[in-house]
Amino acid sequence: MKIIATIVLFLFFSACKSPEARYPVSQNSGSYIDESVERNREMIAEEEDYIKQVMGKNPDTEYLTSADGFWYYYNEKSTDTTNIETPEFGDVVVFDYSISTIEGEPIYGEGEKPTREYAIDREKLFTGLRQGLKLMKEGETVTFLFPSHKAFGYYGDKEKIGSNVPIIAKVTLHNIKEEQTNNETNNQE
């Protein structure tokens, strides 16, 4: 009987033990992410060097560097000193654009993409073009040189532009319609 009582007490006390955390069979140190970040940095540096080489082949063109990490030049710059407005958040812009490779081979020629209306920062548009439109005034035509991370990135456009392809986009801004605030809308009614 003592043996049975001892077994019961042993089972009782061992059953009251708190659960222990289970540890994974293998642990990652995060090195994959570090390696991926380093690969991306190297790829961006190579693309930027190549874009700079292309710009060096056109010494007569005055390239400007944007704070957002791309280059551009004016094909047609606005000379209207009274209208210095550039689009801001919510403004609707009407524009045309064409896209080519960094070497100048057309991907989407002029007129191939329809004229587009776009509400600044409220609709989907690739990063570089979204940032580039904010630099433009009505009537201007600007050519932008975008590294792939400012263009269509890893996924491409799923049509003609592949993965990690830097591009040139020639953009003509036709019109800027300022965003109407609720007060302006109510006053018009």
Task: Using the Cα atoms of residue 139, residue 145, residue 147 and residue 152 in order, give the sign of their dihedral.
Answer: positive
pLDDT at 59: 92
pLDDT at 186: 45
pLDDT at 121: 92
pLDDT at 189: 45
Task: Estimate to the nearest angstrom the gap between the alpha carbon of 146 and the chain centroid.
Answer: 10
The CATH classification of domain 38-180, taken from the options 3.30.56.10, 3.40.225.10, 3.10.50.40, 1.50.10.10: 3.10.50.40
CA–CA separation, 176 vs 135, rounded Å?
12
pLDDT at 185: 44
In tens digits, what is the pLDDT along the chain, a chain of 189 residues?
778 777 766 666 666 556 677 776 665 666 788 888 899 999 999 999 999 999 999 999 999 999 999 999 999 998 877 777 899 999 999 999 999 999 999 999 988 888 999 999 999 999 999 999 999 999 999 999 999 999 999 899 988 999 999 999 999 999 999 877 644 444 444
Three-state DSSP at 135 gives coil
pLDDT at 65: 95
